[in-house]
Amino acid sequence: MNNNIKIDALTLSPYGVNTYIVGDDKEVMIIDMPACESDFSMLDKIIGGRKLARIVYTHGHFDHIQGADDARSHYKGVKQYIHEDDASMLTDASDNLTAYFGAPIVYQPIDEVFSNDGQTFDIGSINFTVMHTPGHSSGCVCYYTEGHVFTGDTLFYMGVGRTDLIHSNHRDIEVSIQKIFQLPNDTLFYPGHEKYATSPQGTSDGHLGKQRVSSINSNLLAGD
């Protein structure tokens, strides 16, 4: 497990989205940028004097990208990244689900896209791998580094992302969950909502090995 990694989490917006600030002593990234009512004080305090290298998204549903434009204004010059299959969600209200809820909203286009499963990038001394994990949306991804995986809305504590939405597919999420479960048992996972491992030490419930056993016992992937 990488001992240099530092992970902080905030639960933001009325939708209870977990946003993660991840990196080392010198550089960080933000994973998902939900609405924070233009108040970035908590994020700024966590980032401190470190460089914010990029903002990355686990997928493009509106609750995870609501703060995208505000973040552009606040963190000028910081590029934002999403998987290419979800890139349209920034600019299409039907794809990002805001039209579905009767209040269509679009955002500025994404800066950069991830196009390859297994693509890697560095944040300071920490190397991350992009795992394409479609199912909840076509472009869902997880961000993996040794000992830690950020699963967005693909895998929750005792649950998985819903697959009854546009661009979602239950068979795809079954394959994606099994892909995540190929990671080492002691990997701590950090989902897009609800309970998460709060530190590199974490708890037994935050390990994939524990989640794998729980999923078998509860038939986690049965039905939609």
Judge whether 18 lies within some domain: yes
Label residue 214 by pLDDT band (50, 70, 90). low
Judge whether 223 lies within some domain: no
Q: What percent of the chain has pLDDT over 70?
A: 88
Judge whether 206 lies within some domain: yes
Structural contact between residues 32 and 64, judged by C-beta atoms closer than 8 angstroms: yes
Question: Is residue 25 scored above 70 in pLDDT?
Answer: yes
14 residue type, one letter: P
| Tally of domains within the chain | 1
CATH of the domain at 150: 3.60.15.10
Question: Is residue 35 scored above 90 in pLDDT?
Answer: yes
Residue-wise pLDDT for 162-186, tens only, equals 999 999 999 999 999 999 999 998 8
Mean pLDDT of 114-134: 98
As a whole number of Å, the end-to-end CA separation of the chain is: 35
Mean pLDDT of 98-121: 96
Strands of 120-123's sheet in order across: 120-123, 126-132, 141-145, 148-152, 188-191
Judge whether 224 lies within some domain: no
Average pLDDT over the chain reads: 89
Label residue 55 by pLDDT band (50, 70, 90). very high
Label residue 116 by pLDDT band (50, 70, 90). very high
134: containing domain: 6-218
Judge whether 88 lies within some domain: yes
